[in-house]
Amino acid sequence: MPNSLPRPNPDEEWESLLRHWQARQPTQPRPFFYSRVRARLTGEGPTAHQALPTWLRWPGYAAMLGIILLLSGDGAVLPSTNPTNEVKPYLGDQPAARALR
Amino acid sequence: MYTLPLSLVHGSPPAAQSPAAAADAELVAQLQQGSEAAFRTLVERYQNRIYRTVLALLRSPEEAEDVAQEVFVEVYQTVGRFRGEAALSTWLYRLATSRALKNRRRARAQKRFAYFTSLLGFDNQVLYEPVDQVHPQARLEEQQQLTRLLALIDRLPDQQQVAFTLRHEQELSYEEIAAVLKTTVPAVESLLFRARKTLRHHLTPALRHA
């Protein structure tokens, strides 16, 4: 008579549940696990050595930015020739200024 | 990611090493000399324990395999810096649990991202995590309880989940768990007490009404 059987106490149920949890876990990975680890190791090796540290790349980026700005063509960093109709903001010692005094 | 050198949290003096610890120390020495055979021995000795630990945390055989592989690759690449201040198994469990938690955080972030993009109308169905696989032959009641237990374990805080898994799945001692988590034995006891209390609190009504 299943209904007449007493239920286990909560502690027993808890332990039983934990045992079921342990039992349902697969015990091992798929076969040839070592071969896959080895293949992965072989695949990762060269890239790890080729990659430059991040800090080593920053000077390169800065130099590249400087070259781009220099060649960008807005002329801001190069002195232009003196145009003849340029307004002189200060006339201190020039003849025209002396005549006005 | 945990960094080397490992701190000495537990263990006995070198003179009183157990045979297993002495064998591991010898294995590490051979690994540091670049022995391929030693690496194979290491993998074969620990692959099941590492795989089971990671699987208990991630619940996906594919992800568990991937993380377990990563653990051994990292061991191979960094064993030169291992100074033997903690047990080899402690180091492996540390790598495994930290990588598993990192992997899970990434998966959850992807899941959140997929959810938001799905709200915007993009199709990202492939990013959803697969539903947890259940044993088809398990009895319904047991299956329901187990499913509920797994869901509850999954929602525990990271430290509690790792401590609970190492204790009940790997049957590690409190001292070994403390070494893996870089904490004290009383702290482990506290983590396990809180984890069990939370799980039992949420499971008891289901057990009673099942």
ipTM value for the complex: 0.72
Record: contact A24-B138, CB cut-off 8 A: yes
Q: Are residues B120 and B184 in the same domain?
A: no
Domain match, B60 and B75 both: yes
- For residues B73 and B6, the model is more confident at B73
Summarised one tens digit per residue, pLDDT across range B87-146 is: 999 999 999 999 999 998 888 887 777 766 666 665 554 444 445 554 555 567 777 888
Q: How far is A53 from chain B (nearest CA, A)?
A: 17
Q: Residue B122 corresponds to which amino acid?
A: F
Give me the long-range contacts of B157-163 (CB less than 8 A, separation at least 24). B158/B101, B159/B191, B160/B191, B160/B192, B160/B194, B160/B195, B160/B198, B161/B57, B161/B195, B162/B57, B162/B97, B162/B101, B163/B188, B163/B191, B163/B192, B163/B195
Optimal mutation site among A21, A30, A35, A42, interface B, most CBs of chain B within 10 A: A21
Domain count, chain B: 2
Looking at the domain assignment, is residue B5 inside a domain?
no
Q: With contact defined as beta carbons under 8 Å apart, do B71 and A29 qualify?
A: no
Q: Measured between CA atoms, how close is B70 to chain A, in angstroms?
A: 8
Q: Examine the fold and report which residue of B108, B130, B152 is the final residue of a domain before the chain moves on.
A: B130
Residue pair B160/B191 in contact (Cβ under 8 Å)? The answer is yes
Contacts of A8 (CB under 8 A, 6+ apart): A16
Helices (H), B59-139: 61-78, 88-119
Residue B6, domain member (yes or no): no
Q: Is A20 exposed, middle or buried (0-12, 13-18, 19+ CB in 10 A)?
A: middle
- State pLDDT tens for residues B166-206: 998 888 999 999 999 999 999 999 999 999 999 988 887 65
Q: Is residue B4 part of a domain?
A: no
Q: Which range of residues forms the domain containing residue B91? A: 11-130
CA-based nearest distance B48→chain A, Å: 5
CATH code of the domain containing B27? 1.10.1740.10
Contacts of B168 in chain A (CB under 8 A): 18, 21-22
Assess whether B99 and B122 both reside in one domain. yes
Q: Assess A6–B contact: CB distance below 8 Å, yes or no.
A: no
Residue B95 in domain: yes
This prediction has a pTM of 0.66
